[in-house]
Structure 1
């Protein structure tokens, strides 16, 4: 089993060219599976009962979410299909089991328009004085990252992988490599954010030198490429400084970008392309969030009054 798992992960990385994030998740899921079945078990002993037992064990584990169990089982299914296609298994165990998981539908959490305005109302300036410069740099970076995420709907993991070479300033586009190594282009609605990004890079150059510029789009206070943990932290602290009561996360900003575009009347297919969703079903979740706009417009139209008011 252990050897087969490594061969499967190598196949996912080399032939399917899945992202490192997906490979890490697969490795963890397979480790959980072999932890129950035994990493040294011969493949000849593989049975449908292994998958069912693992699913039951995970489902009964306190604190383990249904969506996590479903993801683990999906990984095992992909592993089994690969084993069967490579003839490492003489039969397909998936034909003998039926596993269904009902995941509670959770609507995306987005920011209201007034909350976004409150976030971007203040524009901090980078300080060159070492005493206060670290905090001011964090605030400057957070403010610009919030603007980029809210306008583009990028995932935070996609943002930290962007390099200046990925940007086409003339077209106002960024080349993104998203989930499943799928490429897409994300456009800015105008030149304002692009000019702010250019100003930010000029500050990076003055503060940390030319050598850093090509390695990332955003940097921490030490001149190193900003990672996800750093950006999550500075966004949270920046939001707290603007007196917002809710805890702000990068994914909330992604949801906000989608909701704002749908409320503005953009076709759902365009929103799907912008966010990099492989299925329109995922994008449709945002229509529920935007429904309050429809309700308010219906109320404003006041059809009842038009129908019942006398012409006299």
Structure 2
């Protein structure tokens, strides 16, 4: 019988090769399963793991003073591995069968970027590219490798605001995924699910085409759309740094992150009157209940309209 460590490595390989999980998720799973093994007796067989051991692991996480969100995610990882072990008949009985663990999570609404700050960010990104602008051709021209980063920052911001894609999805876009004439981009989302996002007007389509031509100055070693000045694929960490820098330069009210831009795109679309089912498809949510979170965030728009209507004043006057 294989050891717990060997089986957990097989499960990680499955998640990578078959489920196509992101590197970020795979790293988290590896940490989760390592902690699970730390909480158990090293000599214990996988077949002997019971509900008692699961409770022991939960207590191990509690003692480590982790948040309820982290504990719930780690338990979910272990549960997923045991479901796989049961399907593959490594074990006869899944210890998670009828195992109940009530972990209550606080209901937190996503933070979105105020409309005024979105305008500041776009204005700043365009200002940073001012020296690249060629008036005669109405295009940007990158004459030095180091200058490409400013253009990359503008493109990243424009795409995240207009499409609501995740930063990992943005980093994963390849040139072959872009259909300029059709104004759409193919996205590989969570769980290897494919979807299309759309370029809303000719201006952003032209901007994207301009960037694709400009990136050639760095002699890129890859097919990825976004690259750094060394010609390497722009990592999620690199893109986060670009957005952070823009936020600081623009003096935004909040410290803006790529995920906040995703929230903001969702709110803007819903406030514009777009059907929630279309927003769900655009954002790549598998469940509409995830998209419904944003309907609470847009309550600010509702409050403004109710205040403007002022029913009480109309009745009293």
TM-score, normalised on structure 2? 0.88
Instruction: Summarize the alignment of residues 69-218 of structure 1 with structure 2, pairs less than 5 Å apart.
Output: 69-122=71-124, 123=126, 124=129, 125-126=131-132, 134=146, 136-205=147-216, 207-209=217-219, 212=221, 215-218=223-226
Gaps of 5+ in 1: none
Quick one: distance in 2 between partners of 1:283 and 1:251? 14
Distance 2:193 2:266 in 1: 19
- 1:266 aligns to what SS in structure 2? coil
1:241 Cα deviation from its structure 2 partner: 1.5
On the 8 A contact 2:33/2:78 being kept in 1, the answer is: yes
- Using the TM superposition, give the Cα deviation of residue 46 of structure 1 relative to its aligned residue in structure 2, in angstroms: 1.3
| Unmatched runs of 5 consecutive residues or more in structure 2 | 133-140
- Tell me, yes or no, if the aligned pair for 1:152 and 1:257 is still in contact at 8 Å: yes
Map 1:227-242; keep pairs closer than 5 Å.
Answer: 227-242=235-250
> Aligned pair in 2 of structure 1 residues 129, 174: CA closer, same or farther (>3 Å)?
closer
Aligned length: 302
Q: Summarize deviations over 1:149-188 as a string: whole Å, max 9, x none.
A: 0100010000011011101112211111111111111112
Shift of 1:232: 1.0
CA displacement at 1:298 relative to structure 2: 1.1
* Deviation (angstroms), 1:242: 1.9
Maintained 8 Å contact 2:117/2:253: no
Q: Which runs of 4+ in 1 moved over 6 A?
A: none
Distance 2:95 2:280 in 1: 35
Residues 75 and 187 of structure 1: CA distance in aligned 2, closer, same or farther (over 3 Å): same
Residue 49 in structure 1 maps to residue 52 in structure 2 = yes
**Aligned-pair Cα RMSD in Å:** 2.0
- Name the CA shift for 1:129/1:88 in 2 (closer, same or farther; >3 Å): closer
CA distance in 2, matches of 1:88, 1:75: 17
The residue aligned with 2:12 is 9
CA distance in 1, matches of 2:267, 2:276: 10
Matched residue of 2:172: which SS? coil
2:312 to 285, 304, 308: 304
* Pair 16,242 (structure 1): closer, same or farther in 2 beyond 3 Å: closer
Deviation at 1:40, TM superposition (A): 4.5
Question: Does 1:29 pair with 2:39?
Answer: no
Instruction: Tell whether the 8 Å contact from 2:113 to 2:254 is kept in structure 1 after alignment.
Output: no
CA contact (8 A) 1:139 1:238 kept: no
In structure 2, relative to structure 1, the CA distance for the partners of 1:248 and 1:191 (3 Å cut) is same
Q: CA deviation at 1:128?
A: 5.6
Q: Following TM superposition, by how much is the alpha carbon of 1:100 offset from its aligned partner in structure 2, in angstroms?
A: 1.5
Aligned equivalents of 2:56, 2:310: Cα separation in 1? 57
Alpha-carbon distance in 1 for matches of 2:316, 2:253: 44
